[in-house]
Amino acid sequence: MLIELKVKNFAIIDNLSLTFKAGLNILSGETGAGKSILLKSLSLLMGEKAEAEVVRSGVDHAVIEGYFDLSHRPDVLTALNELGLDISDETLVVRRMISKEGKSKVYLNGALSPLSSLRAIVAPLITLTGRQTPLIEMTGQHDNRHLQSKAYHLEILDIYSGTWTLRVEFEKQYQRLRELHGEMQRLTEAARSREQRLDFLTFQRDEIAALNLKPGEDVELDAQVSRMRHSARLIEFAAQSVESLYSSDSAALVILHQVLQRAGELAALDPTLEERCKPLREAKALLEDATLELREYGRGLDADPEQLNQLEERLSSLRKLQKKFGESVDEILHSYAEIVTEIDSLEKHDENLKALADEKQKLQKSLTKLAAELHERRRNGAHLLEKGVNDELLDLNMKGVTFSVHVAKAPELTSTGQSDVEFMIQSSKKDEAKPIAKIASGGELSRILLALKRVVGSSDRPRTYLFDEVDTGVSGQTAEKVGKKLKAIAKGQQLICVTHLPQVASFADQHFLIEKAPSKGGVKMSVLELEKDDRVREIARLISGEKISQTSLEHARQLIAESR
């Protein structure tokens, strides 16, 4: 939910900071005080397009910032995580900057983001691919796109009718059907060049298989060819080394032997000499071992021209494969495995296509059955939803207005079934029912949403509801009923409501007064959170106007007491 809102240099707002709480938050004030401007700033947090005219005169840019608590919205946290944004403290900070030239920047948790990401996170339009619950849902003169969306109508009906689980199962099967269609299309297209492709892959497979490569063989083969090419020089080196270390009169081992022999003769004169010469004895043993190794190495070197030619031919063949399939033998073998897999797939083309066709046919039968069940349950649920909403609308003084749910069978299956659902209203018995999106006013939309929320119940994903014009044309006992309904909906949610009615304002968990006053160069808007006596005075003003009497004050206290 929305915890804090900061607005700076926006229209008549100089610098404003509001802290909202859970429950019912009421905004009141005189006509023209700036309530609509405050709601306009909230609509920008939802992703509405910004205009240069909203920037306060004499400044370079306006700033709107919203701080949201996401501790009960794991779906939004997941979406933010997928965008690579920090969610460690389970909050979201939305910051919008609008320049006087009309350019806008969006920041989500400090990261510069596109406007589309803001809309997708805070106020996504309901789509046909699944349920997306917005963080802010607004109805009124600024934003009523959710209630005007047919996809949203279907979502509400499915939640009310208890068909949501069935719909999710349908969507999974429908998604698999789309995948099958794509796989079959790819196989069909591949069939046109199948034989040519199969010949080409078979040639490549045989070309690699002919060498019978082993992992790491390229490194070993390189070393072996290099050794045989330079065997004469290596044999010469081994022979000279043995000569220098062992065979000649001045060989290192001969000299070392003489030194150790002389040291042994003189050890009687100094007992420590034996210990001091110990490293020389060890060195002699090491040199003897190394000499033997070099002798064996020289004897093992082979300069057979025929064998060298065979190795060079294999190395040349390997180099050709490396140019085609990878720089190393491991990469070539990986390419070989992929080629074998594709050949297997092409050889089993008809078999695979038939298997996919069989699965598709079964899915289509299952989906047709599920769609029929969904459609029937939606039709039954629609009748009950109509009755419940119309009872609520009558209670909200919307006499003559009849709410109905149009449920028709769609010509084709979609991801949500085969139902075309749309909310309709009939202004009077003489008029025809028309789509709610085309003829409902902002006030009517607000009260219809109010009625729907009362009938359908609270969402399992808490959000912020913004109600504007919900009390248009309402007074007296009906106004009290509106207040009670708003209070009920606000439980477990957050509801921000603009009102002119004392009966509605008396139910507030938190009450803000919006005022406008002259300032240097124009007017300035301020918002004050009302407590105790100030709240009583504001409700009294809503009752009697500017001249607050003792009677209106008593009436205000009574309204507050009765609303608890």
What pLDDT digit, counting tens, does each position of 170-199 carry? 999 999 999 999 888 887 776 667 778 888
Report the C-alpha gap between 205 and 200 in whole angstroms.
9
pTM: 0.63
Q: How confident is the model at residue 414 (pLDDT cuts 50, 70, 90)?
A: very high
Res. 108: pLDDT tops 70? yes
Asked, for residue 2, whether it belongs to a domain, the answer is yes
CA 533 to chain centre: 47
CA gap 45, 96 in Å, rounded: 7
368 confidence band (pLDDT: 50, 70, 90) = very high
Same-domain check for residues 3 and 122: yes
Q: Tell me the three-class secondary structure of 351-418, residue by residue.
A: HHHHHHHHHHHHHHHHHHHHHHHHHHHHHHHHHHHHHHHHHHHHHCCCCCCEEEEEEEEEEEEECCEE
Q: Rounded to whole angstroms, what are the CA distances from 209 to 199, 214, 439?
A: 15, 11, 73
Count of other CB atoms within 10 angstroms of residue 217: 20
Q: What is the mean pLDDT of residues 137-150?
A: 66
The answer to whether 246 touches 253, Cβ cutoff 8 Å, is yes
**109: helix, coil or strand?**
coil
Assess whether 7 and 118 both reside in one domain: yes
For residues 333 and 215, the answer to whether their CB atoms sit within 8 Å is: yes
Longest Cα–Cα distance of the chain, Å, equals: 136
Whether residue 9 is predicted with pLDDT greater than 50 in this model: the reply is yes
pLDDT at 128 over 60: no
pLDDT at 488 over 70: yes
Q: How far apart are CA 250 and CA 183, in angstroms?
A: 81
Q: Which residue has the higher pLDDT, 188 or 341?
A: 341
Evaluate the CA torsion angle 121, 122, 126, 130 in order and state its sign: positive
DSSP lists the bridge partners of residue 250 as: none
What is the torsional sign of CA 456, 458, 460, 463? positive
Give the pLDDT band of residue 398 (cuts 50, 70, 90): confident
DSSP bridge partners of 377: none
113 touches 107 (CB < 8 A) = yes
pLDDT value for 408: 95
Residue 244: inside a domain, yes or no?
Answer: yes
**250/378: higher pLDDT:** 378
> In one letter, which amino acid is 352?
N
Write down the pLDDT at residue 169.
93
Which residue intervals of 83-193 are DSSP H helices?
A: 115-122, 150-161, 164-192
On whether both 2 and 117 belong to a single domain, the answer is yes
| Residue 118 counted as domain residue | yes
pLDDT, residue 144, reads 54
> For residues 512 and 25, is the Cβ–Cβ distance under 8 A?
yes
Q: Per the structure, how many domains does the chain have?
A: 2
User: By residue range, what is the domain housing residue 14?
Assistant: 1-127
Q: What is the mean pLDDT of residues 90-106?
A: 91
Helix (H) or strand (E) holding 282: helix 278-300
Phi, psi of 4, rounded to the nearest 5 degrees: -145, 140
- Please give the Cα distance from 231 to 308 (Å, whole number): 11
Residues 121 and 223 in one domain: no
Q: What is the CATH number of the domain that holds 96?
A: 3.40.50.300
Among the residue ranges 228-237, 306-315, 345-354, 401-410, the one predicted with the least confidence is 228-237
Q: How much is the pLDDT for 170?
A: 95
99 contact partners, CB below 8 Å, separation of at least 6:
52, 55, 60, 61
Do 111 and 224 lie in one domain? The reply is no
Say what the pLDDT of residue 63 is: 94
Mean pLDDT confidence for 111-135: 73
Average per-residue pLDDT for the chain: 84
Residue with the larger pLDDT of the pair 268 and 179: 179
Q: Give the pLDDT mean for 218-240.
A: 67
Asked whether residue 286 is assigned to any structural domain, the reply reads yes
Q: Is the pLDDT of residue 458 over 80?
A: no
Q: Residue 143 — pLDDT band, cuts 50, 70, 90?
A: very low
Beta strand 23-28 with 510-519 is parallel
What's the 3-state SS for 194-244? HHHHHHHHHHHHHHHHCCCCCCCHHHHHHHHHHHHHCHHHHHHHHHHHHHH
How far apart are the C-alpha atoms of 530 and 560, rounded to whole Å?
13
475 touches 500 (CB < 8 A): no
Distances (CA, A) of 440 to 65, 475, 479, 482: 31, 20, 20, 18
Report yes or no on 348 lying in a domain. no
Give the model's pLDDT for residue 171. 93
How many Cβ atoms from other residues are within 10 Å of residue 472's Cβ?
15
Choose one of 304, 327, 350: the last residue of a domain: 327
Q: What is the pLDDT of residue 125?
A: 55
Q: How far apart are CA 311 and CA 319, in angstroms?
A: 12
Q: How far apart are CA 387 and CA 405, in angstroms?
A: 10
Residue 275 domain-assigned?
yes
Where is mean pLDDT largest: 39-48, 287-296, 502-511, 512-521?
A: 502-511
User: What is the model's pLDDT at position 309?
Assistant: 66
Kindly state whether residue 265 falls inside one of the protein's structural domains.
Answer: yes
Q: Which residues contact 458 (CB under 8 A, 6 or more apart)?
A: 489, 491, 492, 493
Q: Are 487 and 159 in contact (CB under 8 A)?
A: no
Residue 142 clears pLDDT 60, i.e. is over it: no
Q: Give the DSSP H/E element, type plus range, for residue 423.
A: strand 417-426
pLDDT value at 218 more than 80: no
Query: Which of residues 327, 351, 384 is at a domain's end?
Result: 327
- DSSP conformation class of 159: H
Which residue matches tokens 């304002």? 505
Q: Which amino acid is at 412?
A: E
State residue 537's pLDDT score. 92
Summarize the confidence of residues 294-314 as an average pLDDT: 68
109/2 same-domain check: yes
Residue 145 has pLDDT above 90, yes or no: no
Is the pLDDT assigned to residue 534 strictly greater than 50?
A: yes
Q: Is the pLDDT of residue 535 over 90?
A: yes
Provide the pLDDT for residue 194: 76
Least confident of 22-26, 137-141, 143-147: 143-147
Domain-embedded: residue 228: yes
The residue written with tokens 């002119």 in the block is 500
Query: Which amino acid is it at 564?
Result: R
Q: Which of the given ranges, 123-137, 228-242, 544-558, has the highest pLDDT on average?
A: 544-558
Compute the average pLDDT of residues 303-321: 71
What is the structure's pLDDT at 343?
86
Domain boundary among 284, 308, 327: 327
Across 1-15, 283-297, 472-486, the highest mean pLDDT is recorded for 1-15
Residue with the larger pLDDT of the pair 164 and 296: 164
Eight-class DSSP state of 52: G
Please report, rounded to a whole number, the percentage of residues in the chain having pLDDT higher than 90.
28
Q: What is the dihedral of CA 393, 395, 396, 402, to 10 degrees?
A: 20
- Give the pLDDT of residue 346: 78
Residue with tokens 């999106």: 437
* Residue 364: both structure tokens together: 């289509």
